[in-house]
């Protein structure tokens, strides 16, 4: 769930006006500072999609919004100082540009936690008042601030269909400033929400879909600020109306005296993407990328056409009817505007919804590796211990987080160890070696410093021993051993943690008759999250 109160959406300027009455993208020298941070430091639960949202906005602005890559600053998981440095850099660039007579604009976007009047960037803070002052004072002609802020990161899965209220423009907003437009993702008394189903925050998702062309209500191939906001507002309210956290109402304030509307993206000039022709049925079209992520969600009316400026690639298409889906695929090639023909879609049951495809999780799943040492001993002494001596182990872990489900960890580990012991009954010294290859599924409860976890594990154990006096042949034993695992991770940094872990396993031994043995393991390791 995103930041509580009115997290202000700030904006920067889009530089030039496009013809009469509208600020045209191509005549403004546009700069962008785009920030995403999943971590909000103490007392906040990590978000999943803030960084991805920022990446999406960066892509759209540099591809369609007239922002050159050298003028775009993308800061993912950075600190407040990184943001301030980026703004300072833009100020210097804008000052130089103004000296050459250029009109300039600053586009500031933030997705992440906000609390107690400050943006929370990991452990650092950036007061919203200070940010507003900085942007307002920036030496640019137009400033657009979009703030999609989160406080708690609560996940919302239900989608609402309730009729949403119309959006309102707060022309008397206290945040007004000359040449300044501010969009926030939610009202002052609301939380902003993320959704696994769309792989991002509702607001940023719909804003991005609008900027890609979904918001081009006028059909002129350009998406203006008002169009984008209106589209994001309608879709966000509709999607969150029935959510557990309640409806989320974006807000909008502006002061662009004399400048009229602003063009944010020019989807026509690129002539690349998907074209929904006028005769195509109205409804919401979902364009799903190869990872299962909804790249664009376009609400098309009857009798109008829409251009969706998607990047080249293959997309699955879904349109939802009351009793079934219409699905298909479309290839967007570079430099081509591909028309989506209704005949290319086919009926499919709701169970075939491509948005629910496994690939969707690729967006948020992340790998981590770990290495450490442990100690294992068999419970059932003396029989068990006499067979399998206590052993030190070296352990290497590979984990995939949030792949199957949020906070679920699919793990794979390889461990090995050896020791010397004696078979007491015959006085035979031997060298024991063990290798285990295992997979585990755990659930974790992430917190700022400590993350407890618990789950199940299935291990393939390969054990052998050789006798030092050569009097007996080498022996081996292999079995599959189910067990439980629990532990806690202490986070040294965002990516690094020290883990203390215990395992309790069942061990079936069936050579000298069937015996149910058990063993436990204790281990400590260092992990690194990618």
Residue selected from 373, 428, 484, 522 as contacting other proteins according to rule CB under 8 A? 428
CB of 444 to other proteins, least distance (A): 22
Packing angle of the helix pair 80-99, 128-137 (nearest 10 deg): 10
Maximal C-alpha separation, the chain? 99
Compute the residue count for the chain. Answer: 530
Would you tell me the crossing angle of helices 50-64 and 202-209 to the nearest 10 degrees?
20
Nearest approach in angstroms of CB 425 to other proteins is 6
> Using the rule CB under 8 A, is 405 a contact of other proteins?
no
Instruction: Round to whole Å and give the CA distance between 347 and 468.
Output: 70
Rounded to a whole number of angstroms, the minimum distance from the CB of residue 510 to other proteins is 5
Q: Are 499 and 356 in contact (CB under 8 A)?
A: no
Rule CB under 8 A: choose which of 275, 403, 408, 477 binds other proteins.
Answer: 477
Q: For other proteins, which is the closer residue by CB, 185 or 421?
A: 421
* Spatial CA neighbour of 309 closest among 355, 268, 263: 268
| 108-117 residues labelled b (16+ CB within 10 A) or e (exposed) | bbbbbbbbee
Site for other proteins in 297-326 (CB under 8 A): none
Q: Which of 177, 198, 310, 463 binds other proteins (CB under 8 A)?
A: 463
Closest CA to 23 of 141, 121, 116: 141
Pairing of strands 28-37, 103-115: parallel
Q: Which H helix or E strand runs over 202?
A: helix 202-209
How far is residue 76's CA from residue 55's CA, in Å, rounded to a whole number? 8
Please tell me whether residue 369 binds other proteins under the rule CB under 8 A: no
475 touching other proteins, by CB under 8 A: yes
Pick the piece of the chain touching other proteins (CB under 8 A) from 84-92, 159-167, 372-380, 422-430: 422-430
Cα 274 to its chain centre, rounded Å, is 25
Distance, in Å, from the CA atom of 469 to the CA atom of 458, rounded to the nearest integer, reads: 35
**Binding other proteins by CB under 8 A: which of 249, 465, 501, 505?**
465
Residue matched to tokens 């703004």: 87
378 near other proteins (CB under 8 A):
no
Instruction: Choose among 432, 427, 428: nearest CA to 477.
Output: 432
CA atoms 278, 282, 284, 285: torsion sign = negative
Give the one residue of 88, 454, 480, 492 binding other proteins; rule: CB under 8 A.
480
Verify binding: residue 511, other proteins, rule CB under 8 A.
Answer: yes
476 binds other proteins (CB under 8 A): yes
- Residue 179: count other Cβ atoms within 10 Å of its Cβ: 21
Q: Which is nearer to other proteins, 323 or 469 (CB)?
A: 469
List the one residue from 341, 405, 482, 492 that touches other proteins (CB under 8 A).
Answer: 482
Distance CA 291, CA 158 (A): 21
Comparing C-alpha atoms, which of 375, 408, 395, 380 is closest to residue 438? Answer: 395
Of 27 and 423, the one with the shorter C-beta distance to other proteins is 423
Q: Which of 377, 418, 447, 464 binds other proteins (CB under 8 A)?
A: 464
> Smallest distance, Å, CB 352 to other proteins?
21
Return the residue of 304, 380, 394, 458 that touches other proteins, per CB under 8 A.
458
Q: Does 424 bind other proteins (CB under 8 A)?
A: yes
Helices (H), 65-164: 80-99, 128-137
Q: According to CB under 8 A, which one of 70, 172, 323, 512 is a site residue for other proteins?
A: 512
Piece in contact with other proteins (CB under 8 A), picked from 37-45, 236-244, 354-362, 461-469: 461-469
Instruction: Provide the total of helices (H) and of strands (E) in the chain, helices listed first.
Output: 7, 30
- Residue 371 backbone phi and psi in degrees, to 5: -145, 145
Least spacing, CB of residue 389 vs other proteins, in Å: 12
Asked if residue 429 binds other proteins (CB under 8 A), the reply is no
Measured CA distances, 190 to 174, 195, 204, 209, 247 (Å): 18, 16, 16, 22, 8
20 binds other proteins (CB under 8 A): no
Q: What is the DSSP letter of 358?
A: G
Which residues fall within 8 angstroms of residue 333, CB to CB, at 6 or more apart? 312
Smallest gap from Cβ 472 to other proteins, in A, equals: 6
Q: Report how far apart, in Å, the C-alpha atoms of 64 and of each of 270, 320, 352 are.
A: 7, 28, 32
410 binds other proteins (CB under 8 A): no
Given 298, 387, 399, 489, the residue binding other proteins (CB under 8 A): 387
- Work out which of 188, 339, 468, 478 binds other proteins, going by CB under 8 A: 478
Nearer Cβ to other proteins, position 258 or 382?
Answer: 382
151-210 binders of other proteins (CB under 8 A): none
The smaller minimum CB distance to other proteins, of residues 403 and 472, is found at 472
* 25-64 footprint of other proteins as x/- string (CB under 8 A): ----------------------------------------
Give the residue carrying structure tokens 């699905």. 327
Shortest spacing between CB 384 and other proteins, in angstroms: 11
508 binds other proteins (CB under 8 A): yes
Q: Minimum distance between the CB of residue 459 and other proteins, rounded to whole angstroms?
A: 10
The residue range among 10-18, 40-48, 271-279, 473-481 that interacts with other proteins, by the rule CB under 8 A, is 473-481
Residue 393 CB, nearest distance to other proteins (Å)? 18
Would you say 172 or 469 has its CB closer to other proteins? 469
Which letter, b or e, does each residue of 24-59 get, where b requires 16 or more Cβ atoms within 10 Å of its Cβ? Answer: bbebbbbbbbbbbbbbbeeebbbbbbbbbbbbbbbb
Binding mask 104-133 for other proteins (x = CB under 8 A): ------------------------------
Which residues make up the interface to other proteins (CB under 8 A)? Answer: 386-387, 423-428, 458, 460, 463-465, 471-473, 475-482, 508-513
């Amino acid at each position: 769930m995103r930041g509580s109160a009115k997290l202000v959406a700030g904006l920067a300027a889009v530089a030039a006006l496009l013809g009469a009455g509208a600020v045209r993208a191509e005549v403004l020298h546009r700069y962008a500072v785009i920030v995403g941070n999943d971590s909000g430091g103490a007392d906040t639960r990590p978000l999943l999609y803030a960084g991805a949202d920022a990446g999406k906005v960066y892509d759209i602005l540099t591809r369609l919004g007239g922002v050159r890559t050298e003028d775009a600053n993308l800061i993912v998981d950075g600190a407040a100082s990184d943001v301030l440095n980026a703004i300072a850099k833009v100020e210097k660039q804008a000052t130089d540009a103004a000296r050459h007579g250029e009109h300039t604009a600053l586009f500031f976007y933030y997705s992440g936690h906000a609390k107690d009047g400050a943006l929370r960037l990991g452990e650092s803070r950036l007061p919203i008042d200070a940010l507003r002052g900085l942007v307002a004072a920036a030496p640019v002609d137009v400033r657009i601030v979009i703030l999609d802020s989160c406080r708690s990161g609560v996940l919302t899965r239900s989608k609402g269909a309730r009729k949403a209220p119309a959006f309102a423009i707060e022309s008397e907003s206290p945040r007004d400033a000359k040449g300044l437009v501010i969009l926030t993702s939610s009202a002052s008394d609301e939380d902003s929400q993320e959704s696994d189903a769309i792989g991002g925050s509702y607001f940023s998702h719909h804003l991005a879909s609008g900027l890609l062309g979904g918001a081009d209500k006028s059909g002129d191939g350009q998406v203006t600020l008002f169009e984008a906001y209106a589209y994001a507002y309608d879709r966000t309210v509709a999607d969150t109306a029935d959510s557990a956290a309640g409806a989320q109402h974006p807000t909008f304030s502006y002061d662009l005296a004399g400048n009229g509307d602003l063009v944010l993206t020019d989807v026509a000039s690129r002539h690349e993407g998907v074209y929904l022709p006028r005769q195509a049925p109205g409804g919401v079209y979902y364009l799903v990328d190869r990872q299962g992520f909804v790249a664009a969600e376009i609400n098309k009316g009857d009798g109008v056409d829409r251009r969706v400026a998607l990047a080249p690639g293959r997309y699955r298409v879904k349109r939802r009817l009351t009793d079934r889906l219409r699905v298909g695929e479309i290839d967007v090639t570079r430099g081509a505007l591909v028309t989506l023909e209704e005949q290319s879609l086919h009926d499919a049951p709701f169970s075939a919804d491509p948005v629910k495809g496994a690939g969707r999780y690729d967006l948020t799943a992340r790998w981590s590796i770990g290495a450490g040492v442990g100690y294992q001993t068999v419970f059932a002494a003396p029989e068990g211990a006499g067979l399998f001596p206590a052993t030190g182990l070296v352990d290497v872990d590979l984990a995939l987080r949030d792949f199957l489900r949020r906070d679920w960890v699919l793990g794979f580990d390889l461990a090995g160890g050896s020791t010397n012991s004696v078979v007491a009954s015959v006085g035979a010294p031997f060298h024991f070696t063990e290798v285990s290859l295992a997979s585990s599924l755990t659930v974790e409860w992430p917190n700022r410093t400590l993350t407890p976890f618990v789950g199940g594990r299935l291990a393939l154990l390969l054990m052998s021993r050789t006798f030092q006096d050569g009097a007996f042949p080498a022996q081996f034993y292999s079995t599959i051993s189910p067990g439980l695992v629990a532990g806690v991770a202490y986070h040294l940094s965002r990516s690094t943690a020290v883990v203390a872990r215990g395992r309790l396993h069942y061990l079936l031994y069936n050579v000298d008759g069937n015996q149910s043995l058990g063993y436990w393991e204790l281990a400590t390791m260092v992990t690194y999250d990618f």
